[in-house]
Amino acid sequence: MDEIRLIEVKEDILADNNRLADELRTRLKEKGTLLINIMSSPGSGKTSLILKTIDALGEDIRLGVIEADIESKVDAEKVSLRGVPVVQIRTGGFCHLDANMVNQGLEAMEQHTVDVLMIENVGNLVCPAEFDTGAHKNVMILSVPEGDDKPLKYPLMFSVCDVLLINKIDYLALADFDGEALRRHVFALNPTIKIFEVSCKTGEGIPDWAAWLREQREAFVKEWS
């Protein structure tokens, strides 16, 4: 009997994706554009955070946004009303963005010059963590109503992110949410992660998050200028 050949499809897909992601990072570095990938579960506040970030940064930093949704363009329309260049990627069933999809978004954004480009990934705590989008920084949002046990259920997501935003802290008084337990679990997975507590409703914590973005942009320019 002939030897059965095993083909690792997932490994091949991820390897091809990672090569393209590295190419995107290099291209964006040459253009001076910092790419931020924002991930979370549905309803955690990704779009609200982006809108608050646009307001907080003002005109000092030129922002662009790549929106990803399985079907709608509702979020892109909200961002567009802020006067920020935005591209909608309709994944048509895919539960994540990969480097090729982001590349298509970059091509559609080509006529705009932006300092920071933010990706609103598809709402999902599993698939987006596995695919490198070419981003220079990965950011995750966890909202208080989701609970403090998510690092135990979705460890990869917390492991690959540079920043964790704990959103909807205005719900803390109403929720059974153990912030200390959350931090223990998160730091056990990712000791270098930066954590911000924010509320897109009240604006609490948004200035600190915006300041971090400014610092990252300045460091990025110095490194590659």
The CATH number of residue 138's host domain is 3.40.50.300
> Is residue 219 situated within a structural domain?
yes
Give residue 6's pLDDT.
47
pLDDT of residue 2: 64
Is there a domain that residue 2 lies in? Answer: no
Core vs surface per residue 110-129: b (16+ CB within 10 A) or e: eeeebbbbbbbbbbbbebbb
| Number of domains forming the structure of the chain | 1
In a domain, 108, yes or no: yes
Classify residue 38: in a domain, yes or no. Answer: yes
Is residue 193 domain-resident? yes
Q: How far apart are CA 61 and CA 39, in angstroms?
A: 22
Query: What per-residue confidence (pLDDT) applies to 214?
Result: 96
CA distances from 14 to 90, 131, 224 (A): 21, 7, 27
Q: By residue range, what is the domain housing residue 58?
A: 9-224
User: What string of pLDDT tens digits covers the 225 residues of the chain?
Assistant: 567 664 455 566 688 899 999 999 999 999 999 999 999 999 999 999 999 999 999 888 999 999 988 777 888 999 999 999 999 998 776 788 999 999 999 999 988 899 999 999 999 999 999 999 999 999 999 999 999 999 999 999 999 999 999 999 999 999 999 999 999 999 999 999 999 999 999 999 999 999 999 999 999 988 866
Q: Residue 20 has what pLDDT?
A: 95
Q: Which of 208, 54, 23 is nearest to 117 (CA)?
A: 54
Q: Is 3 within a domain?
A: no
Q: What's the confidence (pLDDT) of residue 11?
A: 61
